Amino acid sequence: MVETPRKTASWQGFGTLGKLTVNLLAAGSVLYSLGMIAYFILRLLVGERSSLVALGSSLMPPALLPALPLQVALLALGRRKAALLLLPSTLWFLFQYGPFFLPRGSAVPEGASQLRVMSFNLGGRVGDYDALIALIRSTDADVVALQEFSMLTSDTLAQGLADDYPHQALNPGNRFAHGVGLFSRYPIVDDFYYADFALGSQRTRLDFNGTPITIYNAHPVSPQTQGGFDGARRSAEIAVLLADAAEEALPMLLVGDFNTTDQSEDYGLIRAQYGDAFRAVGWGLGPT
């Protein structure tokens, strides 16, 4: 009886180059795993008082995306120790984002009134206004909240969308990435502009078929990266918005570009008071 040699790793048969590739993959995976474990520990111990933790939170969820495919690859290659180091990152990804890939029903009660709202960061400059107007119309949104809303954009859209959105609260900026604007099919009762914010934000009240609704079109400034990662200005602006929102007695929506991720402490403060529409009915990772 001849005993067949047992394979010890799936890269056998690919020669030296294959072995080197597997070793490099395992080594890179170990470094990645140790970095993620350090982030989790620091996050638990000191939170975003550490700029490294704040930076790590701002890189989620893309920073977690390699975990699951690496886990599968390492297990297939027989690198169980390296795969074990990856387990915290893989489990965190599955816990935080796995439910978003499962079938989900509608959270809207049958017969409820619905308001369709679009939030859109224009990216500071618009190259094709006709395409932008067509895109906004195609969403059939009742309210359109725009960020990075320049004076030229304001003038162009005010005319181009006048028939679709006769009610407008426009606060264009004269600097790159500055300014916000809101277009509505429903009457606008009043509008307040946060001129002290670095990029501008607004609080607008609508008459929705006899029901007043407050909509915050928010654009807190992105964290500063010179001299280290610093989100203090963003946190301060979000704190102002939350303090004002806490005084509201009307039905309310917070929309916009918050320059944060769902793993940041600022997001946690928002979630402590309000529901996340994407978490209720969204699918996938929801990148923008």
**CA 55, CA 270: separation in Å to the nearest integer?**
19
pLDDT value of residue 17? 62
Has this prediction a pTM greater than 0.95?
A: no
pLDDT value of residue 68? 92
Burial (CB count <10 Å: 0-12, 13-18, 19+), residue 244: middle
Hey, what are 17's tokens? 């180059």
| Cβ within 8 Å of residue 72, ≥6 positions away | none
Hey, what are 164's tokens? 């679709």
Peptide bond into 187 cis (omega under 30): no
**CA 143, CA 187: separation in Å to the nearest integer?**
11
pLDDT value of residue 4? 53
pLDDT in tens, the chain (288 residues): 555 555 455 445 556 767 888 888 889 999 999 999 999 999 999 999 999 999 999 999 999 999 999 999 999 988 999 999 999 999 999 999 998 888 877 667 777 888 999 999 998 778 899 999 999 999 999 999 999 999 999 999 999 999 999 999 999 998 888 999 999 999 999 999 999 999 999 999 999 999 999 999 999 999 988 777 889 999 999 999 999 999 999 899 999 999 999 999 999 999 999 999 888 888 888 766
pLDDT value of residue 21? 84
- Using alpha carbons, select from 100, 103, 96, 35 the residue that is nearest to residue 70: 35
pLDDT value of residue 172? 95
Strands 179-184, 167-172: parallel, antiparallel or unpaired by DSSP?
A: antiparallel
**CA 22, CA 76: separation in Å to the nearest integer?**
11
